[in-house]
Each structure stands twice: as C-alpha cells, then as structure tokens.
C-alpha cells in the first residue's frame, strides 16, 4: 500500500516553528483521524502539518495501533485537518498556507474578483490541473525504483462485455429451517475463487480498497532493474456496494468476519425457480444482510480476477510496507545529504566528489534492496497462485476418484493451512475407501457416529495428520485435520453428529 508522507512541523521551546528532519507517513487513528509517528507515539495532525508536542496522552496512540493510511484517503483528509488552535504562531502559519494554496483556485473560479490578467489565470489553472494529475499518478504508480510507462486507467464498467454478477441471475440467497444458503453459478473458476476467499478472508482485500490494480507483468533486466510495459493498464476501484459498508475495513475478515461453511453442487432449483450450479451453506446465527453483502463483495473480486488475478487482491505484507517506508525515508535523507554536501564542500572538489560517490553508492544499494523486495512480493503472489491451483486440483481429484466420500469444507481449510504435501493423505484416504485391513478405527469421544482413522500420517512437515469419517447410508463424510487442531475438530464433530442437510 502506498502512503502519503509529509514534513511535520511543531512549536519549539522558543515559540518558533521547527520541522522534523524526516518526512512522516500519515497513519489512521481512531475514527480515521490522520496522525504521524513521533518516537513510537502517534500524534493527531493539524493544518500546516503541525503536531502539538504537549498533546494530551489520551489523544495519542501507540504506533502499532495506527496502520498506514492509504495515499488516496490521506489526500482527501489533509484538506479537512483542524486548525492548530493550541498555538497562535502555528495558527497564523496554517492560515497563510491555506491562503497560498487556495488563491490560484479562487482566481480561476471567481473571475469577477480577479486582479490578474487572463493569461496568468489560465497559467494558474493549468498548474492546479498538473498538481492534481501528479497526485493521482503518485497514488497509482508503484514505488520509486520501478520504471512505469504511461498509465491507462480503466473503470470496470468501461470494459466491453464486463459486468459484476447480478443477484437472482448469477446468485441467490435463501434461509431454510436449518441453515442459510447462497446459491451461485460457476463461471471461469468463480467457485474456486469464492472458496479461497472464504477459507482465508484475512488474506484478501475487497475490490473497493486502494487506488487501482494492474495485471501487468514486470520485465527484469540483467542489472536487476524492474520495468513495466510502456502502457500500464490500471483498473480503478469501484465504490462500495452500499452505504452500510465500512470502507475503512479492507480485508474480508475485518469487514465481515470468518465463518464455517460448506459448499456442494446444487441439484434442485432455488425458491426463485432458477437452477444454480453450487450452494454455500452457513449457520443461521449470521445475519442475512451480512451474508448478502459479503457475497456481493466476494463476487465482485471473483469477477475482476478474470481480468487481473485473484492474487492481485492479496493483502500486502505489513513488514514489507514498513521496509518500503524506511527506504523512502532514506531516499529523502540522501536528498538532504546532497544539499549539505553541496553547501559544505563547495570549495573542496575532492571532498565533494567523495561525498557524492558515497551518497550515490548508498542510493544504489537502497534501490537494489527495494527492487529485491518488490521481486519477493511478486514471487509470493506466484506461489500463492500455485498453491491455490494445487488445492483446487486436489479437490477435483477427490471428487473424481472418491465419489462416495463427502469432504467437509473445514477439512479443506486444514489442508490449505496445515499440509505442505497431500501424498500420504491421499494414500490413507484410498485405504479407507478400499476398507483395507492395514488401518484401524477408533470412536471419536462424545460422538455417536464419528470415527477416527487409527493411523498417524505425514502432512509434509510432521506425522500429525488426522482423518475422521462418518458413514451415513450411501455417503461417507470425511474431515481432514491435524493434531494441533484436534480439540477444536472434536467440538465441531460433536456439534455435527451426524452432518445434516448436505444434499440440499
């Protein structure tokens, strides 16, 4: 996530304006109030980019309580900062700043009050346009160190033939006696996308988050430099689905939560007489509005993933953002060091050359470090995509070769989370399917129908893989697990003893 950085002012003990050496990233405090980090504490920000060094403790927060504010959100909110009423010098400075910033715009909008000629007015208007355009480009461009071509900004609504899934046509919600259901039509991996988000809602961001996303693959040069194509398509974030959505909550887990669910093929029509391909089942304790909003948000991401990729909606690594923040700080520091070098070494060519060489060397190291970290993020996206595809193929193989087994979704989530290899898992499943004498079974405590395979097997890391099964008429329900989650699995099995309504 890109952030906005500002030079922060304060009033020193001599009642004079002073400025902190490094620029500070704007962070989000309670209720979305902009703030900046000063020595591990986040202070509220005032007009003129001031902080009150005597701010009350109750108005300050710890840095780990205040995430970085997106550049788009920060740009909106810096114009709404409160005046620094805590000090008359700061307030006078802030008022002058506001006048200086708004004067050119007033000259354009209030022509009857213009005291400058038409040519100067048009120049001011162009400068404001360029300033606004620069802010938008900074919002959408990757960090420095990436060479980006011309941005081609695209609204999803402008893509020929594209539309987000429509309620009743593509999906439907219904509430039965036992569960709530969302029925959905398959379309180019749509079901796999939905499952991936529901299994790991903390890993994926909603589509209305951020300034824009791109599907452009970077080009790598021999020197490690990363370059994007000359024309870089950027798909702009749409508005939230409705006014009830808290757009400050970025991930699906933050916005909606994380829930147990089941997903199966649908073999009968929904109440609106439409036959959908799959159904997703949830507990009745989850509100109808929450489920409907969540699925509309998920389906928008799923549809956009046909153009981009599902991995483009992954939540960025917070540690990576902090490191990128540090790199940006260092780049700012180098600029100031260059100024100092020019000032103090103006009459000493040898000293100036040494300083310039040292600064340039450090800059190259930081730029290379930034590139390597960007490459690492790209690689992580590719690994995540491969793992998602591998799990989807694993599920399809189970459905094809073990058709009488009904695999519970909780078990698939365990496979994603706890298994690096499914080789031994598949071997044990086939032994169960063939009723092999080489394995035994034991009853799961406090259940009537569930049994556990009395055989520990490898998950690719250790020998703590677990399989539980429940035979009901023509179906055998399977839950895959791991020793470290066994207590939670037992609670789930006791609650679903036996599973019901899985053939809706």
CA distances from 327 to 130, 143, 337, 381 (A): 27, 10, 15, 22
pLDDT at 2: 74
Lowest mean pLDDT segment, chosen from 269-278, 293-302, 325-334, 378-387? 325-334
pLDDT at 13: 87
Question: Which is more confidently placed, 479 or 111?
Answer: 479
pLDDT at 218: 57
- Asked whether the beta carbons of 472 and 497 are under 8 A apart, the reply is no
pLDDT at 324: 44
pLDDT at 233: 79
Q: Is the model's pLDDT at 207 over the cut of 80?
A: yes
Most confident of 107-121, 244-258, 473-487: 244-258
Q: Supply the mean pLDDT for the chain.
A: 78
Entry pTM = 0.57
Lowest mean pLDDT segment, chosen from 4-8, 87-91, 119-123, 387-391? 119-123
Q: Is the model's pLDDT at 376 over the cut of 60?
A: yes
Tell me how far apart the alpha carbons of residues 306 and 197 are, in angstroms, rounded to a whole number: 15
Banded pLDDT at 81 (limits 50, 70, 90): confident
Q: Is the model's pLDDT at 117 over the cut of 60?
A: no
- Asked whether the beta carbons of 371 and 379 are under 8 A apart, the reply is no
Average pLDDT over residues 133-154: 47
Banded pLDDT at 126 (limits 50, 70, 90): very low
pLDDT at 448: 92
Average pLDDT over residues 128-156: 49
Q: Is the model's pLDDT at 224 over the cut of 70?
A: no
Banded pLDDT at 456 (limits 50, 70, 90): confident
Q: Is the model's pLDDT at 116 over the cut of 60?
A: no
Banded pLDDT at 438 (limits 50, 70, 90): confident
Average pLDDT over residues 121-130: 42
Average pLDDT over residues 153-180: 91
pLDDT at 297: 96
Q: Is the model's pLDDT at 407 over the cut of 70?
A: yes
Average pLDDT over residues 130-150: 41
Banded pLDDT at 256 (limits 50, 70, 90): very high
Q: Which residues contact 180 (CB under 8 A, 6 or more apart)?
A: 173, 174, 281, 282, 283, 284, 286, 288, 291
pLDDT at 504: 55
Q: Is the model's pLDDT at 338 over the cut of 90?
A: no
pLDDT tens track for 307-319: 888 988 988 654 4
Q: Is the model's pLDDT at 274 over the cut of 90?
A: yes
Question: Which is more confidently placed, 225 or 364?
Answer: 364
Closest CA to 94 of 49, 133, 149, 53: 49
Closest CA to 278 of 304, 311, 307, 302: 302
Neighbours of 309 (CB within 10 A): 17
Banded pLDDT at 127 (limits 50, 70, 90): very low
- Asked whether the beta carbons of 314 and 387 are under 8 A apart, the reply is no
Strands (E) located in 377-429: 405-407
pLDDT at 88: 85
Could you identify the residue written with the tokens 């007009």?
47
Q: Is the model's pLDDT at 412 over the cut of 70?
A: yes
- Asked whether the beta carbons of 70 and 34 are under 8 A apart, the reply is no
pLDDT at 131: 40
Q: How far is CA 17 from its chain centroid? A: 38
pLDDT tens track for 343-359: 555 556 666 666 667 66
Q: Is the model's pLDDT at 68 over the cut of 50?
A: yes
Q: Is the model's pLDDT at 141 over the cut of 50?
A: no
Question: Which is more confidently placed, 190 or 115?
Answer: 190
Element (H, E) at 191: helix 190-199
Tell me how far apart the alpha carbons of residues 449 and 446 are, in angstroms, rounded to a whole number: 10
Q: Which residues pair with 279 in a beta bridge?
A: 183, 264
Banded pLDDT at 96 (limits 50, 70, 90): confident
Average pLDDT over residues 369-390: 68
pLDDT at 355: 66
Average pLDDT over residues 127-145: 39
pLDDT at 133: 37
Whether the bond between 498 and the residue before it is cis, its omega within 30 degrees of 0, is yes
């Amino acid at each position: 996530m890109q952030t906005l950085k500002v030079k922060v002012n304060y009033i020193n003990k001599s009642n004079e304006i002073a400025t902190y050496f490094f620029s500070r990233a704007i962070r989000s405090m309670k209720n979305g109030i902009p703030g900046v980090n000063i020595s591990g504490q986040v202070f509220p920000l005032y007009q003129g980019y001031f902080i009150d060094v005597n701010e009350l403790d109750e108005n300050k927060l710890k840095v780990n309580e205040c995430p970085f504010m997106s550049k788009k959100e920060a740009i909106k909110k810096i114009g709404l900062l409160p005046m620094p009423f805590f000090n008359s010098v700061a307030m006078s400075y802030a008022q002058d700043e506001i006048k200086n910033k708004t004067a050119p715009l007033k000259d354009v909008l209030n022509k009857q009050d213009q005291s400058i000629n038409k040519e100067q007015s048009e120049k001011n208007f162009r400068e404001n346009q360029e300033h606004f355009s620069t802010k938008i480009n900074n919002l959408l461009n990757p960090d420095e160190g990436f060479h980006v071509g011309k941005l081609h900004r695209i609204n999803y609504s402008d893509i020929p033939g594209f539309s987000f899934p429509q309620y009743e046509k593509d999906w439907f919600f219904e509430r039965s006696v036992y569960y709530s259901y969302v029925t959905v039509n398959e379309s180019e991996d749509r079901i796999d996308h939905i499952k991936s988000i529901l299994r790991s809602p903390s890993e994926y961001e909603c589509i209305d988050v951020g300034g824009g996303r791109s599907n452009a693959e970077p080009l790598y040069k021999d020197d490690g430099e990363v370059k994007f194509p000359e024309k870089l398509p950027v798909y702009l974030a749409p508005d939230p689905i409705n006014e009830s959505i808290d757009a400050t909550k970025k991930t699906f887990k933050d916005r909606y939560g994380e829930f147990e669910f089941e997903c199966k093929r649908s073999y009968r029509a929904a109440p609106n007489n439409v036959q959908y391909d799959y159904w997703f089942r949830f507990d009745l304790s989850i509100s109808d509005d929450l489920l409907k909003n969540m699925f509309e948000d998920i389906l928008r991401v799923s549809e956009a993933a046909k153009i981009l990729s599902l991995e483009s909606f992954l939540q960025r690594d917070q540690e990576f953002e902090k490191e990128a923040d540090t790199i940006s700080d260092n780049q700012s520091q180098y600029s100031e060091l260059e100024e100092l070098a020019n000032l103090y070494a103006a009459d000493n060519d040898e000293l100036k050359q040494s300083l310039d060489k040292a600064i340039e060397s450090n800059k190259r190291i930081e730029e290379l470090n930034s590139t390597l970290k960007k490459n690492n993020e790209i690689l992580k996206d590719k690994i995540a995509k491969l793992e998602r595809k591998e799990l989807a193929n694993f599920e399809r193989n189970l459905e094809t070769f073990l058709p009488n087994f009904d695999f519970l979704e909780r078990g698939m989530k365990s496979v994603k989370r706890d298994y690096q290899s499914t080789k031994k898992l598949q071997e044990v499943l086939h032994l169960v399917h063939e009723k092999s004498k080489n394995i035994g079974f034991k009853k799961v405590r406090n259940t009537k129908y569930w049994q556990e395979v009395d055989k520990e097997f490898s998950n690719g890391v250790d020998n703590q893989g677990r399989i539980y099964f429940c035979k009901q008429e023509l179906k055998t329900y399977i839950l895959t697990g791991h020793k470290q989650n066994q207590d939670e699995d037992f609670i789930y099995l006791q609650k679903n003893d036996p599973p019901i309504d899985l053939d809706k």
